[in-house]
Structures are given as C-alpha cells and as structure tokens.
C-alpha cells in the first residue's frame, strides 16, 4: 500500500493502545480517522458496515476490545460480545469494502506451560474467559477475512491509561509495599513501539498472525524491581509472591514469552529491549 493511498481508520482509539496507534497514524497519514465507541460501535454490524462504506478506509486497525482479564470472568457475555462477535463484524465489514484489517490479539491465547517462546503456529489453549474470547475472535475473524493481519502482543504499558508500571511508581513514591509474582513471566510491550510495528508490518504487506512485544522477558517481580531501580526509587518495596497468593479471579499463564523471529524477519530488525522502553517512558513524565 502506497503512503499517499493509505486511509487508515483506528477503532478503540480511546484505549491504552488505541491512543498510541491513533497518534502514530494521524502523524504519518493525514487522512486518518480515529473512532470512539460512540462514533463506531463494532457490535452493530449494519451501522458499522454503512459507516465503513461512507468512510471508505483502505486500512482498519482494530484496537477495540474488552481488555479486563478478571472482569471477563464476571462478565463472560460481554467478553465474547466485544472480543469475538464485534471482531467478526469488523472483519466481515472490512472484507465487504475491500479494506485491509489489522487486529490485536494476545499472549493469553497460550496456556503458558512451555519453557520455549511461543511461535505463531503453536497450539492455542487459553486458561481463562478473556483468552478464550480473544482466541475465538481472532480465529473467526481470519475465517471471515483471510487476508488480514493479527498481531499477538503482551503486557502493554504506555501513556494515556494507568497500568502496573504507573502503580509501581506511585507506590515507590509513597514507600508502600507492592506484591509481584515470580511465576508470571512475559515480555513488556511499549504501546508506541507496537504502533510503529503495526505500520511497518502493513507497509511490508504482511498478513496472517505475527507476534510482537519488546525484546527480552521478565517476571512481574523482576519488572517491578527494575522499574523502581530505573526510576531511582527503592526496588525493595516489591515483594516476591506466587500467582496463587494474589488470589486473582482469572487464571494467569505462567510463561507466555512470544517468539519474535517472524516480526524481525519481516521488519528487518529486532524490537527494542523492554528496559530501554521503560527508561524512555519514565523520562517522558509517565503516570
Ligand atoms: N493491555 C494489555 O496488557 C494487553 C496485552 C495483550 C494484548 N492486549 C490487546 O491489545 C488491544 C488493546 O488493549 P488495550 O489495553 O489498549 O484496551 P483498552 O485500554 O481497554 O481499550 C479498549 C478500547 O476498545 C473500545 N471498545 C470496546 N468495545 C468496543 C465496541 N464494541 N465498539 C467500539 N469500541 C469498543 C473501548 O471503548 P470504551 O472506552 O468506550 O469502552 C476502548 O477504547 C486489545 O485487543 C487487547 O486484547 C492488551
């Protein structure tokens, strides 16, 4: 797709990732439309299709989701409506108008029992409602629109919405203890890097399923200590626990590190190490 022919539409643009993607695409492609749920509700197929016909985007980047992992256990209907049915609607509408679709998926499609990084073709076997709803959404959307790109990512942080990193800084400033699990491992991903990666993959014509996170991995405990060390706060406030001690409503996979070879081969470079992106985020006046 040539740059001057690209007319992107970003869904879920008020979310954590959606804000970064909207900012990136608005800057690169002046005709970008960044849609809120009020403007474009993905659950209403016929209105969605009519709006897509009117706007005629060449590319739709779907950042909309019900991303609350614990909330999905309490509200499974909502999880399947927003993470499966809405995504299938969008895939169907994109195919009807001939738009390229990029969808965002998750490392929680995996059960986390492997010591090896997960490759795109590895077996999906989610442990909780959120992962199940995301996996069904991804799978059924690809069936509707085989020429789409689904990017699986993990543990997002970035400007616009409070995440674990912001809580760590807040607790660090107050000198309060934070419990973080040793047996809960994946790779942090800076939303600004993911936004740029989406653009790179699309420019190179990439389709199918691709993993993207920042390089390296850590447990939530290691992440907590490292964030506080980088911020010049006391890392010792982070106390090691097990996932089970946190008594979270939804099960979390133990280790969902994503294999980044496919992304690196397409983009011609590896993602940045996660620690560098944490430094950059904290320098930018996070939280
Ligand atoms: N956060 C993570 O650590 C993480 C990790 C791996 C993968 N992911 C994936 O990354 C993507 C972005 O996640 P996020 O954390 O940025 O999510 P988020 O902050 O919760 O934002 C989700 C956005 O989707 C919108 N939305 C939900 N249902 C919609 C609908 N039916 N129609 C239109 N808009 C709708 C929400 O609008 P309202 O504000 O109006 O509800 C919100 O703007 C998701 O696909 C998620 O599964 C996230």
How many structural domains is the chain composed of?
1
| Cα–Cα distance measured from residue 20 to residue 25, given in angstroms and rounded to the nearest whole number | 9
Q: Which CATH number covers residue 14? A: 3.40.50.720
Q: Does 59 fall in a domain? A: yes
CB 162 within 8 A of CB 286: no
Q: Does 172 fall in a domain? A: no
281 catalytic residue (yes or no): no
Cα(232) to centroid(ligand 1), Å: 31
CB 6 within 8 A of CB 30: no
Q: Does 170 fall in a domain? A: no
CA-to-CA dists, residue 173 to 168, 215, 228, 229, 231, angstroms: 9, 28, 10, 12, 10
pTM here?
0.96
Q: Does 44 fall in a domain? A: yes
Q: Name the DSSP class of 145.
A: -
Q: Does 201 fall in a domain? A: yes
Residue nearest to atom 31 of ligand 1 (CA): 42
Work out the average pLDDT over 62-74.
98
CB 49 within 8 A of CB 96: yes
Per-chain mean pLDDT for the chain: 96
| Cα–Cα distance measured from residue 84 to residue 107, given in angstroms and rounded to the nearest whole number | 16
Q: Does 263 fall in a domain? A: yes
Encode pLDDT of 7-48 as tens digits: 999 999 999 999 999 999 999 999 999 999 999 999 999 999
Q: Does 243 fall in a domain? A: no
Say what the pLDDT of residue 269 is.
Answer: 97
Tokens of 217: 């991995």
Cα(90) to centroid(ligand 1), Å: 14
Residues with CB under 6 A from ligand 1: 11-12, 14-18, 37, 41-43, 63-67, 82, 86, 104, 106, 134, 153-156, 161
Encode pLDDT of 132-183 as tens digits: 999 999 999 999 999 999 999 999 999 999 999 999 999 999 999 999 999 9
Q: Please give the residue range of the domain that contains residue 85.
A: 3-161+188-216+256-271
Say what the pLDDT of residue 2 is.
Answer: 62
CA-to-CA dists, residue 252 to 50, 67, 182, 185, angstroms: 39, 14, 12, 10
Cα(252) to centroid(ligand 1), Å: 19
CA-to-CA dists, residue 275 to 83, 230, 264, angstroms: 30, 9, 18
The position carrying tokens 């942080």 is 157
pLDDT tops 50 at residue 98: yes
pLDDT tops 80 at residue 261: yes
Cα(82) to centroid(ligand 1), Å: 9
Work out the average pLDDT over 45-74.
97
Q: From the alpha carbon of 13, which atom of ligand 1 is closest?
A: 43
Q: Does 198 fall in a domain? A: yes
Q: From the alpha carbon of 108, which atom of ligand 1 is closest?
A: 6
| Cα–Cα distance measured from residue 194 to residue 3, given in angstroms and rounded to the nearest whole number | 19
Name the active-site residue from 108, 118, 130, 190: 130
């Amino acid at each position: 797709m040539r740059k001057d022919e690209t007319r992107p539409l970003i869904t879920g643009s008020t979310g954590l990732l959606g804000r970064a993607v909207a900012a990136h695409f608005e800057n690169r492609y002046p005709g970008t439309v960044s849609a809120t749920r009020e403007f474009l509700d993905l659950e209403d197929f016929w209105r969605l299709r009519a709006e897509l016909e009117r706007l005629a985007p060449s590319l739709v980047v779907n950042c909309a989701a019900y991303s609350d992992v614990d909330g999905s256990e309490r509200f499974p209907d909502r999880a399947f409506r927003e993470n499966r049915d809405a995504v299938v609607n969008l895939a169907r509408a994109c195919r009807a108008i001939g738009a390229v679709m990029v969808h965002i998926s998750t490392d929680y499609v995996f059960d986390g029992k492997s010591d090896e990084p997960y490759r795109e073709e590895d077996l999906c076997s989610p442990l909780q409602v959120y992962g199940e709803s995301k996996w069904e959404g991804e799978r059924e959307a690809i069936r509707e629109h085989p020429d789409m790109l689904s990017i699986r990512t993990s543990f997002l942080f970035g400007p616009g919405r409070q995440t674990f990193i912001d809580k760590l800084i807040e607790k660090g400033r107050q000198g309060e203890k934070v419990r973080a699990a040793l047996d809960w491992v994946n790779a942090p991903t800076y939303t600004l890097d993911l936004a740029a990666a989406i653009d790179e993959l699309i420019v190179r014509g990439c389709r199918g399923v691709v993993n993207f996170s920042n390089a390296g991995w850590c447990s939530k405990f290691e992440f907590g200590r490292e964030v506080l060390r980088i911020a010049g706060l006391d890392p010792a406030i982070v106390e090691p626990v097990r996932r089970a001690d946190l008594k979270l409503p939804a099960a979390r996979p133990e280790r969902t590190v994503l294999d980044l070879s496919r992304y690196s081969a397409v983009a011609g470079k590896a993602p940045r190490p996660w620690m560098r992106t944490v430094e950059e985020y904290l320098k930018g006046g996070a939280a």
